[in-house]
Amino acid sequence: MSDIDYKNGFVYIIESPSNNDLDKNVVEGRYLSRAFKYNDIPYKYNFVSDLQTLEIALGSGLEKACNQLNKFPILHLTMHGDQDGIKLNKEYIQWGQLYQLLLPLKQYMNGGLIVCMSTCQGFTARIMDKNNDGEPPFFAIVGNRKVVSYADCAVAYITFYRSLFQGKRLSHCVKKMRIASGNNDFIFQYGVEIKKEMWDEYLEDLEKVKNIKTNLLCMGDL
């Protein structure tokens, strides 16, 4: 499929480091912000600590940023995470809960939203799009399949965004981020592909139910 021209977008960073990260000055989002300045990549930075501040960042904060820059957002979430969700400084957010927070933005972008997960197992966020609520899919989910260091994420994503804002395709951008970080577990998937997987799984489950019913009827004839 063809990619969207994201040169007219901006990176909307939402960061929530742990207290230990703050003590060690491990703040990937601020590093990216400095790199974006040098590369003339438009961005807005948000520091959140809990659900309330995350809701503000995804609500009035995002609306203000879009109006100020007159561009559309590419969402970048940097924080700890696992296969079930993300870990804010003071709160844990499961994927289903995060999906509901992102739904207004997803609807606004109408199939054009890229979600970049700078977390451990961030690619697991793709399960957010495996639903049948009738909403358009994300354009793509970008993340890492495994536990990943902040250093790898920082190097990978500045390379990714530099390529993206040069007008390169997502496949090229992700290839570059793997090379730059030396981490081959960075991956992306288009939302339409995720939706198709969901539909294929649904059909497979229907076939299993059909086979079970057929077997039960055959057993009843014995």
Distance CA 114, CA 151 (A): 22
pTM over 0.75: yes
Nearest to 99 by CA among 121, 84, 118, 80: 84
For residue 150, is pLDDT > 50? yes
How would you label 178-214 residue by residue, b for 16+ Cβ within 10 Å and e otherwise? bebbebebbbbbbbbbbbeebeeeeeeeeeeeeeeee
Q: What tokens appear for 128 in the block?
A: 């957010």
Residue 217 lies in a domain: no
Residue 71 lies in domain? 6-191
How many domains, in total, are found in the chain? 1
CATH at 177: 3.40.50.1460
Residue 199 lies in a domain: no
Write the pLDDT tens digit of every residue in 169-199: 999 999 999 999 999 999 999 999 998 887 6
For residue 156, is pLDDT > 60? yes
Given this model, what pLDDT does residue 202 score?
A: 47
Q: Are 32 and 11 in contact (CB under 8 A)?
A: yes
Residue 106 lies in a domain: yes
Residue 186 lies in a domain: yes
